Structure 1
Amino acid sequence: MIKNIDKKIYFALYNFTVSHGLISKQVVFITKFSSKVFSFIYFTVGAWLIYKNDPRLKNFILIPAAVYLIVKIIPLIYNRSRPFAEYKLKSLVKQREDQSFPSTHSGSSMIIALTVLNINLKLGVFMIFLSVLTSISRIMVGVHYPSDILAAWIIAITLNFVGVKF
């Protein structure tokens, strides 16, 4: 059942994207450059925390590192093909035909947004919005299923919650 829902949502978004040139260009731009935006903001806030000798720096570094490690280990256990490779479609961005579950882009962008949210409410909310755009763009360009995104978000939200509470 989940696989059918995944497939329907994936094809609805992917087909919409490939049939609308302007949308396609915008989505490709988002998926290509969002990681640079997230990296810039993450390192800028990290530098500010170092400068201020802020005790939140430890969580700011360790929680995203844990999320990244988990989203990189899971594909070693559960190997799921990327949708463009599985269905012999054209990916709108250059992408290896490796594992798609869970989405590293989505997990990384969401945990960075959440760790920034723990530091600055307005910037964090803005980054969550950007993370959602980034994640949806990964489906629209053909490289992820919706469940890849959802799993990455669950990992990020759970580890952020655990990291902040303990």
Structure 2
Amino acid sequence: MVLLFSNYGPLLFGFVLVWLWFSTSGNKERNRKIVLYALTVMIIALGINKVIELMLFRPRPFVTYTVHLLSEKSSFDPSFPSNHSTGAFVLAFVLFRCRKKLGSVLLMLAVCMAISRVFIGVHYPSDVTAGAIIAILATVIVMSQNRYLDLVYDRIIQVFGKRGNKTIDRDM
């Protein structure tokens, strides 16, 4: 079960974004704005990870130590920081800021994701902790720019809405 969650957990988090974008529950525009914030934070956080990976290559635990590896992973991929944990925590932090109940559930799942990555032998605890720290820092920075980003996101949502309406009108 831990192996499945570790390998396919990112899909679950991705499905949450897709569900939120197309969801009719609550304010549809607000839901879409949450998705756009999450994607923006994700791009920035994973970009930070990539810079760190290029500057500081840390071998994975199964390369340095004898561990019971539960998942196939390349020994050429850096261990620090954990992209899985960063992505999971980004989504959890953004949603927690905007929708406390769903965000709380995702925070618990992000912690499970982080623990599973250590358990299967592909990350050290510091790798997943660093992923969570990068995620929260990127979330705070991006969300603090909401007065600028809201203008851009409103326009994106408006364009997307108009395209959707034109498609529906042609079908009728």
Would the TM-score normalized by the shorter structure come out above 0.5?
yes
Matched ranges for 1:64-143 at <5 A: 64-97=42-75, 98-143=77-122
Report percent identity of matched pairs. Answer: 30
Q: How does 1:36-75 map to 2 (within 5 A)?
A: 36-48=11-23, 52-54=28-30, 55-75=33-53
1:135–1:149 Cα contact (<8 Å) kept: yes
96-105 or 58-67: bigger deviation = 58-67
Verify the 8 A CA contact 1:110 1:131 in the aligned structure 2. Answer: yes
Instruction: Find the aligned partners of 2:97 and 2:21 in 1 and give their Cα distance.
Output: 12
Secondary structure of the corresponding residue to residue 92 of structure 1: coil
Once residues 20 and 100 of structure 2 are traced to their aligned partners in structure 1, the CA distance between those partners, rounded to angstroms, is 13
Work out whether residues 46 and 60 of structure 1, in 8 Å CA contact, stay in contact via their aligned partners in 2. no
Query: Structure 1 segments of 4 or more deviating over 2 A?
Result: 46-49, 51-61
AA partner of residue 42 (structure 2)? P
User: How many angstroms apart in 1 are the aligned matches of 2:22 and 2:98?
Assistant: 13
Using the TM superposition, name which of 40-49 and 30-39 deviates more.
40-49
8 Å CA contact retained: 2:73, 2:122: yes
Which residue of 1 is the match for residue 10 of structure 2?
Answer: 35
* RMSD over equivalenced CA pairs, Å: 1.9
> Partners of 1:101 and 1:33 in 2: how far apart?
20
Which runs of no fewer than 5 residues in structure 2 stay unpaired? 146-172
Compare CA radii of gyration and give the structure with the larger one.
2
The 1:41/1:58 distance shift into structure 2, 3 A limit, reads closer
Q: CA deviation at 1:52?
A: 2.5
The CA deviation string for residues 30-73 of structure 1, in whole angstroms up to 9 with x for no partner, is 21221111111022223449x82335454232111111211122
TM-score (norm 2): 0.74
Structure 1: gaps (5+ residues): 1-25
